[in-house]
């Protein structure tokens, strides 16, 4: 069988085109073995291959090569060719595939859920030895619709849409049709249209002029394949709606005190019944480091692959045969499920105990199954170190692997030796394997169910990992352990945030093509068709805090372009290295910080460094030392002194760079420091000039380049729809990069991204965005309403356009208007927190509005334990609420 590859691509001298693909003649995806094409003039390239007639199909891609180096590749989507029996020559007329301007519609959120189409063939095609196959990419085709074509030929219906030929869909969103070449008179004029399957008279034409195809005569036994057509869509903007809720916050009649994967399936049913098509959750990875409630923080995972055991659905796991055990756990389930919030420690203790009992009863049967063997072989690279980590964490009673003796550094051979001949270790490892096996298939079942219902599951990718995670133990070269990731001061926290994650060694990650991140994306894709990149700004630059600090104020951006002393002088600032880089406080400010405790603090914790200034004594001269000093003291006076000493430790105007010690970073929010207050006016003005240029101009192009380097290969590596959390101190280049890569931004009315605005203009949001009323880091709408009376009044009069004084409480009527305004925005996705959906109906909303808060970012030790106050079964029966939601969605003309 002969295959001719043909493509038009204009090159410059020295450039060559190659084809690489799934068969040996095309290198079996080895670029070095790819087949070189021949240039035949006028920008046309061609390659003829003779392959076995047994080959039924191939995948392939084109790439450009110059001086034996691949310099440009196509969009990640591969060309696919299927060969019919009986034909001897295939001519593949291709177009170079580039990223399109509607890439979200090619994501799995659309192709496997919103617009999912089963493989079906309307017509077997022309029964001819001379064929033409046309292919068109048309992703925005509803589940009950089909692409058709008509044109200036009798066989195409002579422009009558009712007689148009239906295209086959075997690789959605690509559609194709086979035509008998002998029945066509060239030039062929045609257009595509979309037709409703159940209404032959309901159709819509694609935009633009008629398409024209001119081909040389097709020979006997030949098929000419023409691909590269893209349906010219002129439909209105497609928008949909959903709910965001942590899985741990779900509550059903059968929950074990915490939401689980079975509850997530009930949530899917509710979403579908109310006309919603997306459910967003928080990270679901295992965070078990200490077996205490501190592990409730879902963004500090100990593994980027392992799921948290608390999400296992015990009902689907199986029933215990021992009656006394059944009664015992039934009682525990009832106790825990009656609690208003998640009792993290008890939930995990008893769910794990039940799982162990079931494992002892039935688990080893599963471990002997072919399905488990396949699961283990596909996941062993992370499953073995994860199980070893869990065992050693509990054996040594610490997640700090530096304290694990001979196992402080990961060594696979040492781990395998640990297991051999030790039944206790082997049993524990097998139990951990079993739990991940069960969780994986339970989650896959829920994920598949969501797709069947047309509901997209949207995951959450944390920007960091636990400092003492499996990955930091196993792959330490990917991390900078001498820094802590966090966020600079913003609306969430005036002193910044310290997440305590290690920062990334991006240089090392780039050396292997960001394989670590691609593996994370791939694992996330096992369960989700859409995901949110937490703190996407971290791909531009991360806020890195020295390990000596507890708070986030004295961090600096990494990567960055720090200043030399000469640079600082250019702004007119007189730089005194000791004065401005070592914490100190003028005695006259002590009263403002400590009040009546000032003298006591000075005697105990400070020493005089000059006539006016005091410094922290050596035993408390860092925030880490201060934290340890007050670790066992929680009374009001101790807390006040500790916070004041933290404040003094922040009293610098510049931070020395950790790599280039002769360079410096101006301290964020430096103008709010006491040191700044002590400056003469010319010094203040010089610092302000330096500060403004450093934080808002100096790095724009630099950070944009870093973001493209990191995000471009990652975006191209996944089929999921990507959203980014781009809140906070946003570099100027962020919108440009996200728009070019078609990553959906996050838009919140009360966190405007435009300067000098109090509220975001919802009517002007970008289409490629996610609009929401609040996030897990913010107070829900009803709580926010009561936080700032002046701002609420402004919102009431100028945004909601209501007269008079704003009421003290956000009524269900007001909540409906707020939600309606968000639904009416141009954003592709409007995703409302469950708490804000409930606010629109008095009969279901929670009385205690403060109990609806999920997280307080300013508190690094916040207990994540919010649970919905009604069950999912009750939610399904709440017709007054559900009717309102359906009505709101319908009125907004969202899908």
pLDDT band, very low/low/confident/very high, at 755 (cuts 50, 70, 90): confident
The model's pLDDT over 113-126, given as tens digits with 9 standing for 90+, comes to: 999 998 777 766 66
The DSSP bridge pattern shows strands 188-196 and 145-151 to be antiparallel
CB contact burial 461-487 (16+ within 10 A = b; e otherwise):
bbbbbbbbbbbbbbbeebbbeebbbbb
Q: How far apart are CA 348 and CA 291, in angstroms?
A: 8
Q: Hey, what long-range contacts does 364-367 have (CB within 8 A, 24 or more apart)?
A: 364/430, 366/434, 366/437, 366/438, 367/430, 367/433, 367/434
Give the 3-state secondary structure of 20-65: EECCHHHCCCCHHHCEECEEEECCEEEEEEECCCCCCEEEEEEEEE
Residue 715: pLDDT over 80: yes
Residue 524: pLDDT over 80: yes
pLDDT at 537: 95
Instruction: Please state the length of the chain.
Output: 895
User: What DSSP state is assigned to residue 360?
Assistant: I
pLDDT at 342: 98
Strand-pairing partners, residue 61, are 20
**Start-end of H helices in 90-221:** 108-109
Question: CB–CB of 875/834 below 8 Å?
Answer: no
Question: CB–CB of 772/746 below 8 Å?
Answer: yes
The DSSP bridge pattern shows strands 606-608 and 654-656 to be unpaired
Q: How far apart are CA 336 and CA 709, in angstroms?
A: 48
Going by C-alpha positions, the residue among 354, 353, 415 that lies closest to residue 380 is 415
pLDDT at 70: 64
Question: CB–CB of 10/42 below 8 Å?
Answer: no
CB contact burial 428-439 (16+ within 10 A = b; e otherwise):
bbbbbbbbbbbb
Q: To the nearest whole percent, how much of the chain has pLDDT over 90?
A: 93
Residue 201: pLDDT over 90: no
**Mean pLDDT across 494-518:** 95
pLDDT at 421: 85
The DSSP bridge pattern shows strands 769-772 and 168-171 to be unpaired
pLDDT at 197: 87
Task: Tell me, rounded to whole angstroms, the distance of Cα 250 from its chain centroid.
Answer: 21
pLDDT at 85: 83
The model's pLDDT over 128-184, given as tens digits with 9 standing for 90+, comes to: 899 999 999 999 999 999 999 999 999 999 999 999 999 999 899 999 999 999 999
The model's pLDDT over 617-674, given as tens digits with 9 standing for 90+, comes to: 999 999 999 999 999 999 999 999 999 999 999 999 999 999 999 999 999 999 999 9
Going by C-alpha positions, the residue among 169, 126, 162, 124 that lies closest to residue 146 is 169
Q: Taking all residues of the chain, what is their mean pLDDT, rounded to a whole number? A: 95
Would you list the DSSP string of 108-134?
A: HHIIIIIT----B-S-----SSEEEEE
pLDDT at 552: 94
Question: CB–CB of 821/832 below 8 Å?
Answer: no
The model's pLDDT over 532-581, given as tens digits with 9 standing for 90+, comes to: 999 999 999 999 999 999 999 999 999 999 999 999 999 999 999 999 99
Which residues lie closer than 8 Å to 630 by C-beta, 6 or more apart?
Answer: 638, 639, 641, 642
**Mean pLDDT across 36-53:** 96
Going by C-alpha positions, the residue among 71, 70, 89, 90 that lies closest to residue 81 is 90
- Record the tokens describing residue 181, joined without a space: 């070449």
pLDDT at 124: 67
**Mean pLDDT across 455-484:** 96
pLDDT at 728: 87
**Mean pLDDT across 234-250:** 96
**Mean pLDDT across 809-823:** 98
In degrees, rounded to 5, the angle at the alpha carbon of residue 854 between the alpha carbons of residues 851 and 858 is: 110
pLDDT band, very low/low/confident/very high, at 448 (cuts 50, 70, 90): very high
Question: CB–CB of 523/496 below 8 Å?
Answer: no
Q: How far apart are CA 621 and CA 625, in angstroms?
A: 7
């Amino acid at each position: 069988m002969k295959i001719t590859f043909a493509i038009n691509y204009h090159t410059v001298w020295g450039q060559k085109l190659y084809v690489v693909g799934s068969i040996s003649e095309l290198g079996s995806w080895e670029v070095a073995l790819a087949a070189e094409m021949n240039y035949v003039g006028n920008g046309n390239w061609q390659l003829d291959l003779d392959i076995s007639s047994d080959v039924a199909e191939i995948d392939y891609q084109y790439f450009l090569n110059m001086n034996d180096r691949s310099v440009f590749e196509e969009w990640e989507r591969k060309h696919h060719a299927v060969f019919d029996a009986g034909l001897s020559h295939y001519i593949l007329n291709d177009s170079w595939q580039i990223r399109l301007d509607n890439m979200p519609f090619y994501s799995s959120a659309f192709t496997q859920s919103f617009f999912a189409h089963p493989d079906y063939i309307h017509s077997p095609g022309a029964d001819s030895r001379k064929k033409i196959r046309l292919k068109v990419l048309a992703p925005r085709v509803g589940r009950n619709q089909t692409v058709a074509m008509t044109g200036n030929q009798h066989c195409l219906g002579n422009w009558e849409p009712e007689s148009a030929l239906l295209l086959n869909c075997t690789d959605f969103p690509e559609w194709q049709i086979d035509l008998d070449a002998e029945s066509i008179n060239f030039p062929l004029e045609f257009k595509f249209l979309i037709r409703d399957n159940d209404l032959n008279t309901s159709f819509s034409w694609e935009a633009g002029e008629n398409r024209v195809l001119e081909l040389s005569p097709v020979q006997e036994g030949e098929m000419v394949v023409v691909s590269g057509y893209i349906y010219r869509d002129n439909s209105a903007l497609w928008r949909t709606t959903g709910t965001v809720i942590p899985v741990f916050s779900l509550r059903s009649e059968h929950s074990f005190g915490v939401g689980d994967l079975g509850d997530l399936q009930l949530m899917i049913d509710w979403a579908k019944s109310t006309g919603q098509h997306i459910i967003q959750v928080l990270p679901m990875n295992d965070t078990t480091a200490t077996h205490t409630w501190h592990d409730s923080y879902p963004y500090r995972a100990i593994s980027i692959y392992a799921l948290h055991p608390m999400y296992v659905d015990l009902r689907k796991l199986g029933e215990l045969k021992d009656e006394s055990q059944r009664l015992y756990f039934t009682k525990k389930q009832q106790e825990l499920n009656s609690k208003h919030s998640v009792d993290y420690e008890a939930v995990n203790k008893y769910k794990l105990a039940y799982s162990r009992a079931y494992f002892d009863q039935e688990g080893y049967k599963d471990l002997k199954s072919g399905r488990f063997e396949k699961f283990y072989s596909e996941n062993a690279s992370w499953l073995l170190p994860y199980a070893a980590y869990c065992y050693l964490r509990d054996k040594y009673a610490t997640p700090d692997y530096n304290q694990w003796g001979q196992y402080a550094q990961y060594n696979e051979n040492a781990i395998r030796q640990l297991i051999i001949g030790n039944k206790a270790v082997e049993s524990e490892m097998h139990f951990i394997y079993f739990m991940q096996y069960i969780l994986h298939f339970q989650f896959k079942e829920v994920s598949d169910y969501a797709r069947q219902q047309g509901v997209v599951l949207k995951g959450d990718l944390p920007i960091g990992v636990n400092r003492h995670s499996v990955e930091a133990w196993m792959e330490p070269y990917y991390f900078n352990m001498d820094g802590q990731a966090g966020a600079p001061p913003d609306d969430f926290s005036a002193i910044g945030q310290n997440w305590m994650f290690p920062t990334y060694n991006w240089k090392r990650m780039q050396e292997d093509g960001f394989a670590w991140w691609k593996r994370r994306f791939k694992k996330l894709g096992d369960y989700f068709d859409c995901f949110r990149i937490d703190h996407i700004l971290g791909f531009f630059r991360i806020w890195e805090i020295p390990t000596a600090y507890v708070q986030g104020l004295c961090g600096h951006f990494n990567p960055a372009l720090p200043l030399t002393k000469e640079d600082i002088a250019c702004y007119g600032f007189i730089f005194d290295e000791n004065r401005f880089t070592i914490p100190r406080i003028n005695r006259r400010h002590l009263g403002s910080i400590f009040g009546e405790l000032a003298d006591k603090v000075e005697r105990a914790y400070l020493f005089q460094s000059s006539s006016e200034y005091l410094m922290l004594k050596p035993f408390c001269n860092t925030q880490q030392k201060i934290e340890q000093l007050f670790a066992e003291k929680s009374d009001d006076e101790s807390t006040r002194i500790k916070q004041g000493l933290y404040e003094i430790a922040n009293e610098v105007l510049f931070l020395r760079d950790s790599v280039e010690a002769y360079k410096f970073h101006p301290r964020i929010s430096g103008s709010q420091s006491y040191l700044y207050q002590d400056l003469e006016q010319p010094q203040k003005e010089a610092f302000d000039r330096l500060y403004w240029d450093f934080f808002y101009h100096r790095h724009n192009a630099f950070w944009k380049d870093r973001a493209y380097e990191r995000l471009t290969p990652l975006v191209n590596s996944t089929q999921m729809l990507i959203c980014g959390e781009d809140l906070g101190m946003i570099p100027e280049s962020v919108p440009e990069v996200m728009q070019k890569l078609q990553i959906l931004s996050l838009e919140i009315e009360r966190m405007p991204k435009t300067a000098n605005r109090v509220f975001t203009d919802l009517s002007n949001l970008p289409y490629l965005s996610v609009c929401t009323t609040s996030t897990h880091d913010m107070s829900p709408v009803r709580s926010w309403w009561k936080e700032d009376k002046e701002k609420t009044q402004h919102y009431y009069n100028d945004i909601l356009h209501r007269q008079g004084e704003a009421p003290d409480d956000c009524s269900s009527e007001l909540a409906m208007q707020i939600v309606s305004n968000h639904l009416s925005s141009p954003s592709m996705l409007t995703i409302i927190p469950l708490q804000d959906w409930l606010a629109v109906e008095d009969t279901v909303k929670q009385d205690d509005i403060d109990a609806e808060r999920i997280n307080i970012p300013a508190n690094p030790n916040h207990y994540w334990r919010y649970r919905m106050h009604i069950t999912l079964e009750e939610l399904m029966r709440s017709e007054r609420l559900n009717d309102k939601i359906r009505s709101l969605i319908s009125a907004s003309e969202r899908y």
